[in-house]
Amino acid sequence: MTSRSSELFAAAQERIPGGVNSPVRAFRHVGAQPFFVERARGAKIWDVDGNEYIDYIGSWGPAILGHTPKVIVDAVREAAARGLSFGIPNPLEVEMANLICAWMPSIEKVRMVNSGTEATMACVRLARGFTGRDKIIKFDGCYHGHVDALLVRSGSGALTHGRPDSAGVPQAFVDLTISLPFNDADVVRKCFAQNKGQIAAIIVEPVPANAGLYFANHDFLLTLREECTKNGALLIFDEVVTGFRAARGGAQEIYGVKPDLTALGKIIGGGLPVGAFGGRSEVMDQLSPDGPVYQAGTLSGNPLAMTAGLAQLHELERIDGWKLLERLGAHFEKLTRDAIAQAQIDITFHRIGSMFCLFFASGPIVDLADAQRSNLETFSKFFRGCLKRGVYFAPSQFETGFISTAHTREDIERTGAVMRESLSVL
Protein backbone atom coordinates (compact mmCIF):
# COMPACT_ATOMS: atom_id res chain seq x y z
CA MET A 1 0.00 0.00 0.00
CA THR A 2 1.25 3.50 -0.81
CA SER A 3 1.90 5.49 2.34
CA ARG A 4 0.54 9.00 2.82
CA SER A 5 4.11 10.35 3.03
CA SER A 6 4.91 8.80 -0.35
CA GLU A 7 1.80 10.35 -1.86
CA LEU A 8 2.67 13.75 -0.43
CA PHE A 9 6.26 13.52 -1.64
CA ALA A 10 5.09 12.67 -5.15
CA ALA A 11 2.75 15.66 -5.09
CA ALA A 12 5.47 17.90 -3.67
CA GLN A 13 7.86 16.99 -6.47
CA GLU A 14 5.33 18.32 -8.98
CA ARG A 15 5.39 21.80 -7.45
CA ILE A 16 8.49 22.11 -5.23
CA PRO A 17 12.05 21.65 -6.58
CA GLY A 18 13.18 18.22 -5.41
CA GLY A 19 9.97 17.96 -3.42
CA VAL A 20 11.55 19.81 -0.46
CA ASN A 21 12.09 23.37 0.69
CA SER A 22 15.61 22.70 1.98
CA PRO A 23 17.93 20.19 0.26
CA VAL A 24 18.97 18.02 3.22
CA ARG A 25 15.32 17.09 3.80
CA ALA A 26 15.29 15.11 0.54
CA PHE A 27 16.85 11.97 2.13
CA ARG A 28 18.75 11.27 -1.10
CA HIS A 29 21.99 10.88 0.83
CA VAL A 30 20.51 7.96 2.77
CA GLY A 31 18.79 6.18 -0.11
CA ALA A 32 15.27 6.87 1.06
CA GLN A 33 12.31 9.19 0.71
CA PRO A 34 11.38 11.75 3.37
CA PHE A 35 8.43 11.26 5.66
CA PHE A 36 6.00 14.10 6.31
CA VAL A 37 5.35 15.24 9.87
CA GLU A 38 1.81 15.68 11.15
CA ARG A 39 2.55 16.85 14.69
CA ALA A 40 5.23 17.06 17.35
CA ARG A 41 5.34 17.31 21.12
CA GLY A 42 8.23 17.17 23.54
CA ALA A 43 10.96 14.91 22.16
CA LYS A 44 8.59 13.05 19.80
CA ILE A 45 7.32 13.56 16.27
CA TRP A 46 4.53 11.68 14.46
CA ASP A 47 4.35 11.33 10.71
CA VAL A 48 1.21 11.44 8.58
CA ASP A 49 1.09 7.62 8.61
CA GLY A 50 0.93 7.51 12.42
CA ASN A 51 4.55 6.44 13.06
CA GLU A 52 6.19 7.81 16.21
CA TYR A 53 9.85 8.80 16.42
CA ILE A 54 12.20 10.08 19.11
CA ASP A 55 13.53 13.22 17.43
CA TYR A 56 17.19 14.27 17.60
CA ILE A 57 16.95 17.09 15.06
CA GLY A 58 14.67 19.47 16.93
CA SER A 59 13.99 21.58 13.82
CA TRP A 60 17.79 21.61 13.27
CA GLY A 61 18.49 23.08 16.69
CA PRO A 62 15.86 25.64 17.72
CA ALA A 63 13.68 23.22 19.73
CA ILE A 64 15.98 23.19 22.77
CA LEU A 65 12.94 22.85 25.07
CA GLY A 66 11.43 20.21 22.80
CA HIS A 67 8.50 20.65 20.45
CA THR A 68 5.48 22.85 21.28
CA PRO A 69 6.49 23.64 24.89
CA LYS A 70 3.52 25.13 26.69
CA VAL A 71 5.42 28.20 27.83
CA ILE A 72 6.15 29.18 24.22
CA VAL A 73 2.80 28.18 22.72
CA ASP A 74 0.89 30.16 25.36
CA ALA A 75 3.12 33.21 24.89
CA VAL A 76 2.82 33.15 21.09
CA ARG A 77 -0.96 32.67 21.23
CA GLU A 78 -1.28 35.73 23.45
CA ALA A 79 1.08 37.78 21.27
CA ALA A 80 -0.73 36.77 18.06
CA ALA A 81 -3.98 38.17 19.44
CA ARG A 82 -2.27 41.57 19.71
CA GLY A 83 -0.85 41.52 16.19
CA LEU A 84 1.25 39.33 13.89
CA SER A 85 3.54 41.99 12.48
CA PHE A 86 3.73 45.75 12.67
CA GLY A 87 6.68 46.95 10.59
CA ILE A 88 7.01 49.47 13.43
CA PRO A 89 9.25 49.22 16.51
CA ASN A 90 7.79 47.17 19.35
CA PRO A 91 8.92 46.76 22.98
CA LEU A 92 9.82 43.09 22.53
CA GLU A 93 12.70 44.03 20.20
CA VAL A 94 14.26 46.09 22.98
CA GLU A 95 13.78 43.32 25.53
CA MET A 96 15.43 40.77 23.22
CA ALA A 97 18.32 43.12 22.45
CA ASN A 98 18.95 43.70 26.16
CA LEU A 99 18.89 39.97 26.91
CA ILE A 100 21.31 39.09 24.09
CA CYS A 101 23.75 41.80 25.13
CA ALA A 102 23.56 40.71 28.77
CA TRP A 103 24.19 37.03 28.00
CA MET A 104 26.90 37.62 25.36
CA PRO A 105 29.18 40.40 26.63
CA SER A 106 30.99 40.67 23.28
CA ILE A 107 27.75 42.09 21.87
CA GLU A 108 27.21 45.75 22.75
CA LYS A 109 24.61 46.42 20.07
CA VAL A 110 22.47 43.98 18.10
CA ARG A 111 20.10 44.04 15.14
CA MET A 112 17.36 41.50 14.46
CA VAL A 113 16.95 39.77 11.10
CA ASN A 114 14.92 36.79 9.89
CA SER A 115 17.42 33.96 9.39
CA GLY A 116 20.94 32.84 10.13
CA THR A 117 21.84 33.40 6.47
CA GLU A 118 20.74 37.03 6.75
CA ALA A 119 22.81 37.41 9.90
CA THR A 120 26.05 36.12 8.38
CA MET A 121 25.47 38.06 5.16
CA ALA A 122 25.06 41.26 7.16
CA CYS A 123 28.17 40.52 9.23
CA VAL A 124 30.29 40.17 6.10
CA ARG A 125 28.92 43.35 4.53
CA LEU A 126 29.41 45.24 7.78
CA ALA A 127 32.99 43.98 8.15
CA ARG A 128 33.81 45.10 4.62
CA GLY A 129 32.20 48.49 5.20
CA PHE A 130 33.97 49.01 8.51
CA THR A 131 37.45 48.00 7.30
CA GLY A 132 37.25 49.23 3.72
CA ARG A 133 38.60 45.84 2.61
CA ASP A 134 37.12 43.14 0.41
CA LYS A 135 38.58 39.71 1.20
CA ILE A 136 37.06 37.25 3.68
CA ILE A 137 38.66 34.18 5.26
CA LYS A 138 36.41 31.21 5.99
CA PHE A 139 37.16 27.55 6.74
CA ASP A 140 36.53 24.36 4.77
CA GLY A 141 33.33 22.67 5.91
CA CYS A 142 31.98 25.65 7.83
CA TYR A 143 28.52 26.57 6.58
CA HIS A 144 27.32 30.14 6.97
CA GLY A 145 24.06 29.99 5.09
CA HIS A 146 23.49 30.26 1.37
CA VAL A 147 25.30 33.59 0.99
CA ASP A 148 27.01 33.81 -2.42
CA ALA A 149 30.42 34.79 -1.08
CA LEU A 150 30.37 32.05 1.59
CA LEU A 151 29.31 29.08 -0.54
CA VAL A 152 32.93 28.06 -0.99
CA ARG A 153 33.85 24.62 0.39
CA SER A 154 30.85 24.87 2.67
CA GLY A 155 29.09 22.28 4.78
CA SER A 156 25.48 21.32 5.57
CA GLY A 157 23.25 20.48 2.61
CA ALA A 158 25.83 21.63 0.05
CA LEU A 159 28.30 19.07 1.35
CA THR A 160 25.69 16.34 1.79
CA HIS A 161 24.74 16.53 -1.87
CA GLY A 162 28.33 16.54 -3.09
CA ARG A 163 28.40 20.22 -4.04
CA PRO A 164 30.59 22.15 -1.61
CA ASP A 165 30.17 25.11 -3.99
CA SER A 166 27.12 26.33 -5.89
CA ALA A 167 26.22 27.17 -9.45
CA GLY A 168 25.07 30.76 -9.86
CA VAL A 169 27.85 32.22 -7.70
CA PRO A 170 29.96 34.63 -9.79
CA GLN A 171 33.68 33.88 -9.90
CA ALA A 172 34.34 37.45 -8.81
CA PHE A 173 32.64 36.70 -5.48
CA VAL A 174 34.61 33.50 -5.01
CA ASP A 175 37.86 35.34 -5.71
CA LEU A 176 37.25 37.46 -2.61
CA THR A 177 36.71 34.43 -0.36
CA ILE A 178 39.68 32.46 0.94
CA SER A 179 38.76 29.05 2.35
CA LEU A 180 41.39 27.49 4.61
CA PRO A 181 41.65 24.18 6.50
CA PHE A 182 40.09 24.38 9.95
CA ASN A 183 42.48 24.00 12.89
CA ASP A 184 45.60 25.04 10.93
CA ALA A 185 46.87 28.19 12.65
CA ASP A 186 50.03 28.40 10.52
CA VAL A 187 48.12 28.65 7.27
CA VAL A 188 46.03 31.49 8.75
CA ARG A 189 49.20 33.42 9.60
CA LYS A 190 50.57 32.82 6.10
CA CYS A 191 47.29 33.96 4.55
CA PHE A 192 47.44 37.30 6.34
CA ALA A 193 51.09 37.71 5.33
CA GLN A 194 50.26 37.06 1.67
CA ASN A 195 47.23 39.39 1.70
CA LYS A 196 48.50 42.35 3.71
CA GLY A 197 45.87 45.01 4.23
CA GLN A 198 43.27 43.10 2.19
CA ILE A 199 41.47 40.87 4.72
CA ALA A 200 38.27 42.39 6.09
CA ALA A 201 37.35 39.53 8.40
CA ILE A 202 37.58 35.93 9.40
CA ILE A 203 34.22 34.19 9.72
CA VAL A 204 34.16 30.88 11.57
CA GLU A 205 31.85 28.48 13.34
CA PRO A 206 33.67 28.27 16.70
CA VAL A 207 32.27 24.74 16.88
CA PRO A 208 31.85 23.52 13.28
CA ALA A 209 28.45 21.83 13.22
CA ASN A 210 27.66 21.53 9.53
CA ALA A 211 30.24 18.98 8.45
CA GLY A 212 29.41 16.71 11.32
CA LEU A 213 30.67 18.10 14.61
CA TYR A 214 34.32 18.67 15.47
CA PHE A 215 36.27 20.98 17.71
CA ALA A 216 38.97 23.62 17.64
CA ASN A 217 42.43 22.53 18.69
CA HIS A 218 44.07 24.20 21.66
CA ASP A 219 44.52 27.94 21.01
CA PHE A 220 43.23 27.83 17.39
CA LEU A 221 40.42 30.28 18.06
CA LEU A 222 42.74 32.40 20.19
CA THR A 223 45.16 32.54 17.23
CA LEU A 224 42.34 33.78 15.01
CA ARG A 225 41.62 36.51 17.55
CA GLU A 226 45.28 37.52 17.71
CA GLU A 227 45.77 37.57 13.95
CA CYS A 228 42.64 39.65 13.36
CA THR A 229 43.68 42.17 16.00
CA LYS A 230 47.24 42.35 14.66
CA ASN A 231 46.10 42.84 11.06
CA GLY A 232 43.14 45.18 11.57
CA ALA A 233 40.55 42.58 10.52
CA LEU A 234 37.34 41.64 12.31
CA LEU A 235 36.65 38.24 13.85
CA ILE A 236 33.11 37.00 13.17
CA PHE A 237 31.73 34.06 15.14
CA ASP A 238 28.85 32.26 13.45
CA GLU A 239 26.93 31.07 16.51
CA VAL A 240 23.66 30.44 14.69
CA VAL A 241 23.84 26.85 15.95
CA THR A 242 25.85 27.21 19.17
CA GLY A 243 24.42 30.49 20.43
CA PHE A 244 22.59 29.86 23.74
CA ARG A 245 22.83 26.11 23.12
CA ALA A 246 26.48 25.17 23.67
CA ALA A 247 26.32 27.33 26.79
CA ARG A 248 24.34 30.29 28.13
CA GLY A 249 26.86 32.60 26.49
CA GLY A 250 27.49 30.41 23.46
CA ALA A 251 30.75 28.85 22.32
CA GLN A 252 32.58 32.12 22.96
CA GLU A 253 31.87 31.63 26.66
CA ILE A 254 33.31 28.11 26.56
CA TYR A 255 36.47 29.06 24.68
CA GLY A 256 36.96 32.46 26.29
CA VAL A 257 37.49 34.21 22.95
CA LYS A 258 35.76 37.52 22.21
CA PRO A 259 34.73 38.09 18.57
CA ASP A 260 34.05 41.51 17.05
CA LEU A 261 30.76 40.35 15.53
CA THR A 262 28.45 37.40 16.24
CA ALA A 263 25.70 35.90 14.09
CA LEU A 264 22.78 34.30 15.92
CA GLY A 265 19.59 32.41 15.06
CA LYS A 266 17.65 29.24 15.92
CA ILE A 267 17.38 29.31 19.75
CA ILE A 268 16.44 33.01 19.87
CA GLY A 269 13.33 32.37 17.78
CA GLY A 270 11.81 29.57 19.84
CA GLY A 271 10.94 27.70 16.64
CA LEU A 272 9.95 30.70 14.52
CA PRO A 273 12.14 32.16 11.73
CA VAL A 274 14.68 34.53 13.23
CA GLY A 275 18.25 35.74 13.18
CA ALA A 276 20.35 38.46 14.75
CA PHE A 277 23.84 39.89 14.52
CA GLY A 278 25.70 42.11 16.91
CA GLY A 279 29.05 43.16 18.27
CA ARG A 280 31.17 46.13 19.19
CA SER A 281 29.33 49.46 19.20
CA GLU A 282 31.83 51.19 16.93
CA VAL A 283 31.30 48.49 14.31
CA MET A 284 27.53 48.24 14.65
CA ASP A 285 27.20 52.04 14.44
CA GLN A 286 28.27 51.79 10.79
CA LEU A 287 24.82 50.36 10.00
CA SER A 288 22.15 52.58 8.48
CA PRO A 289 20.50 54.83 9.48
CA ASP A 290 23.54 55.98 11.51
CA GLY A 291 26.21 54.75 9.12
CA PRO A 292 26.82 53.98 5.44
CA VAL A 293 26.29 50.18 5.53
CA TYR A 294 22.73 49.43 4.45
CA GLN A 295 20.71 46.58 5.95
CA ALA A 296 16.95 46.23 6.33
CA GLY A 297 14.17 43.69 6.85
CA THR A 298 10.40 44.16 6.75
CA LEU A 299 9.64 41.43 9.31
CA SER A 300 12.79 41.85 11.42
CA GLY A 301 12.04 41.83 15.14
CA ASN A 302 8.42 40.80 14.56
CA PRO A 303 6.44 40.30 17.76
CA LEU A 304 5.78 36.58 17.31
CA ALA A 305 9.43 35.60 16.86
CA MET A 306 10.54 37.90 19.68
CA THR A 307 7.87 36.53 21.99
CA ALA A 308 8.75 32.90 21.24
CA GLY A 309 12.46 33.52 21.65
CA LEU A 310 12.13 35.42 24.90
CA ALA A 311 9.83 32.75 26.35
CA GLN A 312 12.35 30.06 25.43
CA LEU A 313 15.40 31.89 26.78
CA HIS A 314 13.72 32.84 30.06
CA GLU A 315 12.51 29.25 30.54
CA LEU A 316 16.00 27.89 29.87
CA GLU A 317 17.37 30.17 32.54
CA ARG A 318 14.56 29.34 34.99
CA ILE A 319 15.16 25.59 34.81
CA ASP A 320 18.95 25.88 34.48
CA GLY A 321 18.53 24.14 31.15
CA TRP A 322 22.24 23.92 30.31
CA LYS A 323 22.98 21.85 33.40
CA LEU A 324 20.07 19.52 32.55
CA LEU A 325 21.22 19.24 28.92
CA GLU A 326 24.74 18.34 30.02
CA ARG A 327 23.39 15.54 32.23
CA LEU A 328 21.24 14.20 29.40
CA GLY A 329 24.11 14.55 26.95
CA ALA A 330 26.51 12.68 29.22
CA HIS A 331 24.04 9.80 29.58
CA PHE A 332 23.48 9.74 25.83
CA GLU A 333 27.25 9.67 25.29
CA LYS A 334 27.75 6.74 27.68
CA LEU A 335 25.08 4.63 25.96
CA THR A 336 26.37 5.57 22.52
CA ARG A 337 29.95 4.65 23.37
CA ASP A 338 28.73 1.35 24.83
CA ALA A 339 26.88 0.61 21.58
CA ILE A 340 29.94 1.50 19.51
CA ALA A 341 32.20 -0.71 21.62
CA GLN A 342 29.90 -3.69 21.14
CA ALA A 343 29.62 -3.10 17.39
CA GLN A 344 33.38 -3.06 16.78
CA ILE A 345 33.00 -0.70 13.82
CA ASP A 346 35.16 2.36 13.13
CA ILE A 347 33.01 5.13 14.61
CA THR A 348 34.17 8.38 16.20
CA PHE A 349 31.72 10.00 18.60
CA HIS A 350 31.81 13.73 19.36
CA ARG A 351 29.67 15.68 21.83
CA ILE A 352 29.56 19.13 23.36
CA GLY A 353 26.65 19.67 25.74
CA SER A 354 23.45 18.80 23.87
CA MET A 355 25.10 18.57 20.42
CA PHE A 356 26.56 15.32 19.06
CA CYS A 357 27.69 13.44 15.96
CA LEU A 358 28.67 9.87 15.08
CA PHE A 359 31.31 9.80 12.32
CA PHE A 360 31.55 6.43 10.60
CA ALA A 361 35.32 6.74 10.46
CA SER A 362 38.28 6.26 12.77
CA GLY A 363 39.56 9.29 14.66
CA PRO A 364 40.88 11.81 15.17
CA ILE A 365 38.50 14.05 13.25
CA VAL A 366 39.49 17.71 13.45
CA ASP A 367 38.60 19.15 10.04
CA LEU A 368 36.61 18.63 6.86
CA ALA A 369 39.16 16.28 5.28
CA ASP A 370 38.91 13.99 8.31
CA ALA A 371 35.09 14.14 8.29
CA GLN A 372 35.03 13.17 4.62
CA ARG A 373 36.76 9.88 5.44
CA SER A 374 33.40 8.71 6.83
CA ASN A 375 31.80 5.64 5.31
CA LEU A 376 28.60 7.10 3.89
CA GLU A 377 27.12 3.73 2.95
CA THR A 378 27.47 2.44 6.51
CA PHE A 379 26.00 5.65 7.89
CA SER A 380 23.06 5.31 5.52
CA LYS A 381 22.34 1.78 6.75
CA PHE A 382 22.61 2.92 10.36
CA PHE A 383 20.24 5.84 9.72
CA ARG A 384 17.62 3.62 8.09
CA GLY A 385 17.96 1.03 10.86
CA CYS A 386 17.34 3.61 13.56
CA LEU A 387 14.46 5.20 11.66
CA LYS A 388 12.78 1.81 11.23
CA ARG A 389 13.04 1.33 15.00
CA GLY A 390 11.59 4.75 15.85
CA VAL A 391 14.64 6.99 16.32
CA TYR A 392 15.14 9.93 13.97
CA PHE A 393 18.67 11.23 13.46
CA ALA A 394 19.67 13.74 10.78
CA PRO A 395 19.54 12.15 7.28
CA SER A 396 23.16 13.07 6.61
CA GLN A 397 26.55 12.07 7.96
CA PHE A 398 27.49 15.74 7.85
CA GLU A 399 24.92 17.12 10.27
CA THR A 400 24.78 17.50 14.03
CA GLY A 401 22.25 15.88 16.36
CA PHE A 402 20.49 17.80 19.12
CA ILE A 403 19.14 16.80 22.52
CA SER A 404 16.37 18.86 24.16
CA THR A 405 15.30 19.34 27.74
CA ALA A 406 12.17 17.36 26.79
CA HIS A 407 14.16 14.17 26.20
CA THR A 408 13.63 11.88 29.15
CA ARG A 409 16.01 9.32 30.56
CA GLU A 410 13.67 6.68 29.13
CA ASP A 411 13.90 8.27 25.65
CA ILE A 412 17.68 8.12 25.82
CA GLU A 413 17.70 4.56 27.16
CA ARG A 414 15.41 3.53 24.30
CA THR A 415 17.71 5.30 21.83
CA GLY A 416 20.73 3.47 23.21
CA ALA A 417 18.99 0.14 22.66
CA VAL A 418 18.02 1.12 19.10
CA MET A 419 21.60 2.16 18.31
CA ARG A 420 22.96 -1.12 19.63
CA GLU A 421 20.47 -3.12 17.56
CA SER A 422 21.04 -1.03 14.42
CA LEU A 423 24.83 -1.22 14.70
CA SER A 424 24.79 -4.95 15.38
CA VAL A 425 23.39 -5.76 11.92
CA LEU A 426 25.76 -3.56 9.91
CA distance 24 to 31: 12
Neighbours of 53 (CB within 10 A): 21
Residues ≥6 apart with Cβ < 8 Å to 254: 246, 247, 352
State how far the Cα of 21 lies from the Cα of 12, in Å rounded to an integer.
10
The rounded distance, in Å, linking the Cα atoms of 267 and 285 is 25
SS3 state at 1: coil
Task: Tell me if 389 sits within 8 A of 414, measured CB to CB.
Answer: no
Catalytic position from the list 47, 140, 238, 260:
238
Assess contact for 383 and 361: CB atoms under 8 A. no
Active-site residue among 44, 135, 138, 266?
Answer: 266
Contact between residue 47 and residue 36 where contact means Cβ atoms under 8 Å apart: yes
User: Would you call 155 helix, strand, or coil by DSSP?
Assistant: coil
As a whole number of angstroms, the distance between CA 399 and CA 210 comes to 5
Q: Are strands 234-238 and 391-392 parallel, antiparallel or unpaired?
A: unpaired
Q: Which of 53, 56, 143, 255 is an active site residue? A: 143
SS3 of residue 102 by DSSP: helix
Helices 70-82 and 303-318 pack at an angle, to 10 degrees, of 150
Task: Lay out the sheet containing 135-139: strands in order across.
Answer: 109-113, 275-279, 261-265, 234-238, 199-204, 135-139, 177-180
Task: Report the Cα 116 to chain-centroid distance in Å.
Answer: 8
CA 43 – CA 404 distance, rounded (Å): 7
238 catalytic residue (yes or no): yes
Which helix (H) or strand (E) element contains residue 262?
strand 261-265
Count of all residues that appear for the chain in the document: 426
Active site residue 143: yes
Catalytically annotated residues: 143, 238, 266
